[in-house]
């Protein structure tokens, strides 16, 4: 046990981020809840979640205390990549309902005080998009093929792909057509990449933005935000492309622009993070500014180092970018401290809010990751034959990580079900898998289905209340009963009530627009400790208990905070506490 029982008032502080003004634009400090429509709530009974299901459950989100909702794609799509393969950007897929259902959902959300952002998927379309159908029909050399990246092959008879790029889902990034030409797809072969040098492509997406802005959405989450522009000539590149791993360069020592430090590792190949992509954000920023109400974009850009990522949130580009370096920091106090310091350094330099995220529909949920012997950023799905997480340890650490995250100034993203402490389905039978990454890697990557399992709402109902018919598109583990909303609501100390309390305190204490100072005598080693306004936050990532300042009062904790023999407050292992500083 440490003996750092200094009174809160005499703790030294190192300023990292100065407080902002409480009346800042909503996206500067919003807590944004990701709804993955096919797994949130199913009103129709077909086993797949839908817009009417979301509308019916929006009260849960208002009650939880989030500020906004981000919806993953619900557009017309053959669902080759769960809707990230869009066939019509202006239509709702019948699986999810109709445009009227969308309007009703949006209206209900706004009435509840929730903003709504929708997904924009501009890097690629579905192979069932009308443009791709036209391109296939028109043949080599046609104007219709100019909207995509069609090329002749290399080698004898053009039988080799035009370059050596690999798909992020495994296998080559090129597919050959019977007429001999190849087309590029950074993801599945059913997701052809668009040619962003084509003026029609640019005009079309500005129009798509307007379509949804006119309907009243508050903003967009931009998919593969760093991918649209490719290096001229599409040169060979031997590096490895991935979604989230590799975002690990977060040195706090040099938060200035290190654009010349591109090493060719990570996600810095010729298909990603090209300078030309920023012109697209400037154009979209101009579109958003034509609307009232602080509409916003968040860039899903897996870019390193963080100084490169900050270029996406310059004042005339996107409002936010996901901070995957935080998600990737694992259960490592030094890495967390570094990423927090670095993030404020680079984002403050461009006047943008820093964002925080621990889980989404592409990674193993943090309650499962933190239960692994090595809680890495992105084990690409967990299968039956893999190491199984320690469920209790994972949940305990997940709650601690969440309390740390929700005390940080900026905007935070929650993934549906994390407020329940939900783990992944880690023993899913392979016969149920749908993620193209599983099939394109021959099962080497288990894929992302484990974090996409339908939510449990009521422990005693069929499909745990997800669907009135009891049907679910992926099976739910029996253990989900204990995580159901109705098993936790009103239960003191439950994960749901802890999230609710944290969101309420975050709001009442002004933490989202607050500042961050490391607490010098407490922070260090296994302990991450900082002050934000009048709240002291102490996270113990080690195995030994930590003595807390004698004069502090507990506001909130991820576990019960104990008292030692002398009556002093003690924070056990794998736990976070929010304390009120002494007067
Ligand atoms: C990122 C999305 O989050 C992921 O789910 C999708 O598979 C790829 N982009 C391709 O659109």
Q: Dihedral through CA 339, CA 512, CA 278, CA 249, nearest 10?
A: 0
User: In the annotation, is 317 catalytic?
Assistant: no
H-helix or E-strand containing 414?
Answer: strand 411-415
**223 CA distance to ligand 1 centroid (A)?**
6
- Closest alpha carbon to 11 in 547, 523, 416, 576: 523
Structure confidence by residue, pLDDT tens digits, 64-83: 999 999 999 999 999 999 99
Using CA atoms, how far residue 171 sits from 161, 235, 525, in Å, is 12, 18, 42
289's CB contacts (< 8 A; 6+ apart) are none
**Three-state SS for 150?**
strand
pLDDT of residue 489: 98
Atom index in ligand 1 nearest the CA of residue 186 equals: 10
| Bridge pairing between strands 516-519 and 527-532 | antiparallel
Contact 77, 129 (CB under 8 A): no
For ligand 1, atom 11, name the residue with the nearest CA.
84
CA atoms in the 13 A half-sphere facing the CB of 104: 15
Q: What size, in residues, is the chain?
A: 583
**Three-state SS for 133?**
helix
Atom index in ligand 1 nearest the CA of residue 72 equals: 3
**84 CA distance to ligand 1 centroid (A)?**
6
pLDDT of residue 581: 85
CA-to-CA distance for 231 and 275, rounded, in angstroms?
9
Q: Facing residues of 412 across strands?
A: 31, 356
| Bridge pairing between strands 546-547 and 75-76 | unpaired
CA-to-CA distance for 232 and 357, rounded, in angstroms?
33
CA-to-CA distance for 443 and 291, rounded, in angstroms?
46
- Closest alpha carbon to 541 in 386, 282, 331: 331
User: Measured in Å, how far apart are the chain's first and last C-alpha atoms?
Assistant: 26
H-helix or E-strand containing 578?
Answer: strand 575-580
- CA 264 distance to own-chain centroid: 25
pLDDT of residue 582: 76
Give the active site residue among 300, 419, 435, 517: 300
Atom index in ligand 1 nearest the CA of residue 360 equals: 3
CA-to-CA distance for 315 and 285, rounded, in angstroms?
9
CA-to-CA distance for 307 and 292, rounded, in angstroms?
30
pLDDT of residue 239: 80
Query: Token pair for residue 119?
Result: 């997904």
- Closest alpha carbon to 421 in 461, 371, 474, 350: 371
Contact 420, 33 (CB under 8 A): no
**457 CA distance to ligand 1 centroid (A)?**
26
Instruction: Give ∠ CA 58-61-63 in degrees, rounded to 5.
Output: 110
CA-to-CA distance for 78 and 32, rounded, in angstroms?
27
For ligand 1, atom 3, name the residue with the nearest CA.
362
For ligand 1, atom 10, name the residue with the nearest CA.
84
- Closest alpha carbon to 31 in 531, 535, 507: 507
**543 CA distance to ligand 1 centroid (A)?**
37
Q: Facing residues of 68 across strands?
A: 32, 115
Spans in the chain with pLDDT lower than 50:
1-3, 246-266
What would you report as the CA-atom Rg of the chain, rounded to the nearest whole angstrom?
24
| Bridge pairing between strands 296-299 and 219-222 | parallel
**284 CA distance to ligand 1 centroid (A)?**
20
CA-to-CA distance for 423 and 381, rounded, in angstroms?
12
Contact 578, 557 (CB under 8 A): yes
Structure confidence by residue, pLDDT tens digits, 534-554: 999 999 999 999 999 988 899
**496 CA distance to ligand 1 centroid (A)?**
28
Ligand 1 pocket test, pick from 224, 247, 435 with the greatest ligand atom count within 8 Å of Cβ, gives 224
Contact 579, 8 (CB under 8 A): yes
pLDDT of residue 325: 95
297's CB contacts (< 8 A; 6+ apart) are 219, 220, 221, 222, 281, 284, 285, 288, 318, 319, 320
pLDDT of residue 1: 41
pLDDT of residue 93: 98
Q: Facing residues of 414 across strands?
A: 33
524's CB contacts (< 8 A; 6+ apart) are none
CA-to-CA distance for 17 and 396, rounded, in angstroms?
28
- CA 63 distance to own-chain centroid: 22
For ligand 1, atom 5, name the residue with the nearest CA.
362
- Closest alpha carbon to 294 in 233, 218, 356: 218
- Closest alpha carbon to 423 in 395, 401, 465: 395
5's CB contacts (< 8 A; 6+ apart) are 547, 548, 549, 550, 568
Residue showing tokens 């950074």: 186
User: In the annotation, is 387 catalytic?
Assistant: no
CA-to-CA distance for 204 and 59, rounded, in angstroms?
35
Atom index in ligand 1 nearest the CA of residue 437 equals: 7
H-helix or E-strand containing 174?
Answer: strand 174-176
Contact 323, 357 (CB under 8 A): yes
Residues with CB under 6 A from ligand 1: 81, 84, 121, 187, 223-224, 300, 361-362
Using CA atoms, how far residue 564 sits from 6, 292, 348, 393, 567, in Å, is 16, 55, 41, 23, 5
Query: Token pair for residue 461?
Result: 């109902």
CA-to-CA distance for 95 and 325, rounded, in angstroms?
34
Instruction: Give ∠ CA 413-578-485 in degrees, rounded to 5.
Output: 50
Give the active site residue among 223, 245, 362, 419: 223
H-helix or E-strand containing 138?
Answer: helix 130-138
């Amino acid at each position: 046990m440490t003996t750092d029982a200094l009174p809160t008032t005499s703790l030294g502080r190192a300023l990292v981020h100065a407080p902002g003004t409480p009346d800042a634009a909503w996206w500067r400090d919003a807590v944004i809840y990701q709804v993955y429509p096919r797994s949130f709530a199913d009103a129709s009974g077909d086993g797949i979640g839908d817009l009417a299901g979301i509308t019916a459950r929006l009260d849960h989100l208002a009650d939880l205390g989030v500020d906004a909702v981000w919806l993953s794609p619900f557009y017309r799509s053959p669902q080759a990549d769960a809707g990230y393969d869009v066939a019509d950007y202006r239509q709702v897929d019948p699986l999810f309902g109709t445009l009227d259902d969308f309007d009703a959902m949006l209206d209900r959300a706004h009435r509840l005080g929730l903003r709504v952002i929708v997904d924009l998927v501009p890097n690629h379309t579905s192979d069932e998009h009308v443009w791709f159908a036209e391109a296939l029909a028109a043949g080599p050399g046609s104007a219709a093929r100019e909207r995509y990246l069609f090329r002749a092959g290399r080698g004898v008879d053009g039988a080799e792909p035009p370059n050596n790029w690999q798909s992020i889902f495994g296998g080559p990034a090129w597919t050959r057509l019977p007429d001999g030409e190849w087309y590029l797809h950074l993801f599945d072969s059913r997701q052809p990449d668009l040619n962003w040098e084509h003026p029609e492509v640019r005009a079309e997406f500005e129009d798509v933005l307007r379509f949804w802005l006119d309907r009243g959405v508050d903003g967009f989450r931009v998919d593969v935000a760093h991918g649209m522009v490719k290096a001229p000539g599409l040169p060979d590149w031997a590096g490895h492309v991935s979604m989230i791993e590799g975002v690990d360069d977060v040195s706090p020592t040099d938060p200035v622009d290190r654009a010349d430090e591109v090493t060719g590792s990570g996600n810095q190949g010729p298909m990603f993070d090209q300078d030309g992509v920023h012109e697209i954000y400037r154009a979209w920023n101009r579109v958003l500014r034509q609307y009232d109400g602080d509409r916003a974009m968040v860039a899903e850009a897996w870019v390193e180092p963080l100084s490169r990522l900050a270029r996406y949130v310059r004042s005339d580009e996107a409002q936010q970018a996901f901070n995957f370096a935080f998600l990737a920091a694992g259960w490592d106090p030094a890495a967390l401290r570094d990423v927090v310091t670095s993030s404020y350094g680079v984002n403050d330099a461009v006047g943008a809010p820093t964002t925080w995220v621990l889980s989404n529909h592409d990674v193993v949920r943090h309650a499962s990751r933190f239960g692994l012997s090595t809680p890495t950023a992105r084990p690409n799905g967990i299968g039956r034959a893999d190491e199984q997480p320690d469920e209790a340890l994972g949940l305990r650490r997940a709650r601690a990580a969440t309390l740390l995250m929700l005390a940080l100034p900026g905007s935070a993203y929650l993934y549906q079900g994390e407020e329940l402490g939900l783990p992944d389905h880690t023993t899913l039978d392979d016969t149920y898998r749908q993620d193209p990454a599983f099939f394109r890697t021959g099962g080497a990557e288990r894929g992302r289905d484990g974090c996409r399992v339908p939510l449990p709402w009521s422990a005693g109902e069929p499909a745990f209340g997800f669907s009135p018919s009891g049907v679910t598109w992926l099976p739910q583990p029996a253990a989900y009963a204990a995580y159901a909303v109705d098993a936790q609501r009103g239960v003191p100390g439950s994960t749901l009530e802890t999230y609710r309390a944290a969101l309420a305190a975050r709001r009442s204490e002004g933490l989202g627009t607050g500042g961050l100072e490391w607490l010098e005598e407490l922070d260090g080693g296994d302990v991450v400790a900082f002050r934000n306004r009048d709240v002291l936050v102490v996270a113990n990532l080690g195995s030994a208990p930590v003595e807390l300042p004698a004069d502090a009062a507990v506001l909130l904790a991820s576990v019960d905070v104990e008292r030692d023999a002398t009556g002093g407050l003690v924070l056990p292992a794998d736990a976070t506490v929010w304390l009120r500083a002494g007067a």
